[in-house]
Amino acid sequence: MSKALEQIATLKSHGFVVIRALADAARCAEIRRAARAQLLAKAAPLEYEADLHYPGAPASRRAGGGETVRRLLNAYDRDRVFRCWAAWPSIVDWMQMYFGEPVMLTKAHHNCIMTKHPVYGSLTGWHRDARYWSFKRNNLISAWLALESETVRNGALRFVPGSHRIALPSDCFDHAQFFHARPEHHPEMAALLQTAVLPALGAGDAVFFHCNTLHAAGANFSNKIKYSLAFAYHGSSNPPLPGSRSASMPEVALTPSNDAPCCAQDRRADHFPLPDR
């Protein structure tokens, strides 16, 4: 069995799989520099911590840390270096092998650079990404690229293995669709969280996970911003439902030929200047 097929089998069983060294150090550095430049420029569209009111976030935009950015949205259209990674041949080939058909990139979901800040960066409760996604089938895969080390200290992702295959009662979720199973009501559901794992990632490592996999992320207790790049993919026979948020942005049909070298000398003049560090 090929390595890719082994990884796909792991994802189908566990709901996620870690792929080590998917991006090399030079590529991570370039993506990270582009992300930092856009964060410094406060280039719209942005998502602010204060607007979501997650635990640990500033109370409002006017409060201390109120202008803390949580995500740089619409990464695909921000910069060629992000588009290049979204259509990276090894990712597209992997996804095509998983779905068994041509691959589509949704621009309505994920499609962002996560910028988890110290102090004001919030934690994210247990949830399934499919909670607000509307497709013919709940079968999408997210690809999360770590641009530096991701550990419990700086708020790495945690996953509940096998949760994508479990039917979870609706009363285990709150009004915002976060998972809050009470032991006295659903002891078997609450026990699920005790099986959660936190795969530590290094720069260039990626984790691919199913849209129904329960996952969460802690706060950033380090002294620097943690950058990650996330895109979501689905098969061509699984379109977004008309009129839904999932259908609000045009999708991208992906083939390996979409890719081109992502190197500094290949950048167009209209891109953001790259900071030194």
CA distances (Å), origin 135, targets 98, 112, 200, 236, 242: 17, 20, 31, 11, 9
Assigned token pair, 249: 């942005």
- What's the confidence (pLDDT) of residue 256? 66
Quote the mean pLDDT of the chain: 91
Model pLDDT for residues 43-89, shown as the tens digit of each residue: 999 999 999 889 888 889 989 899 999 999 999 999 999 999 999 99
The residue type of 201 is: L
Q: By C-alpha distance, which of 161, 153, 155 is closest to 122? A: 155
CA distance 169 to 189: 9
Spell out the domain ranges in the chain.
Answer: 3-59+71-266
Model pLDDT for residues 130-143, shown as the tens digit of each residue: 999 999 999 999 99
Peptide bond into 240 cis (omega under 30): no
CA distance 154 to 156: 6
Q: What is the 3-state secondary structure (H, E, C) of the chain?
A: CCHHHHHHHHHHHHCEEEECCCCCHHHHHHHHHHHHHHHHCCCCCEEEHHHHCCCCCCCCCCCCCCCCEEEEECHHHHCHHHHHHHCCHHHHHHHHHHHCCCEEEECCCCCEEEEECECCCCCEEEECHHHHCCECCCCEEEEEEECCCECCCCCCEEECCCHHHCCCCHHHECCCCEECCCCCCCHHHHHHHHHCECCCECCCCEEEEECCCCEEECCECCCCCEEEEEEEEEECCCCECCCCHHHCCCCEEECHHHCCCCCHHHCCCCCCCCCCC
Model pLDDT for residues 206-254, shown as the tens digit of each residue: 999 999 999 999 999 999 999 999 999 999 999 999 999 999 999 999 9
- What's the confidence (pLDDT) of residue 50? 93
Residue with tokens 């420029």: 41
Q: Could you tell me which CATH number the domain at 3-59+71-266 has?
A: 2.60.120.620
| Chain centre distance of CA 157 | 10
More confident site: 46 or 269: 46
Q: By C-alpha distance, which of 161, 183, 185 is closest to 171? A: 185
Q: What is the dihedral of CA 145, 81, 117, 112, to 10 degrees?
A: -70
- What's the confidence (pLDDT) of residue 257? 52
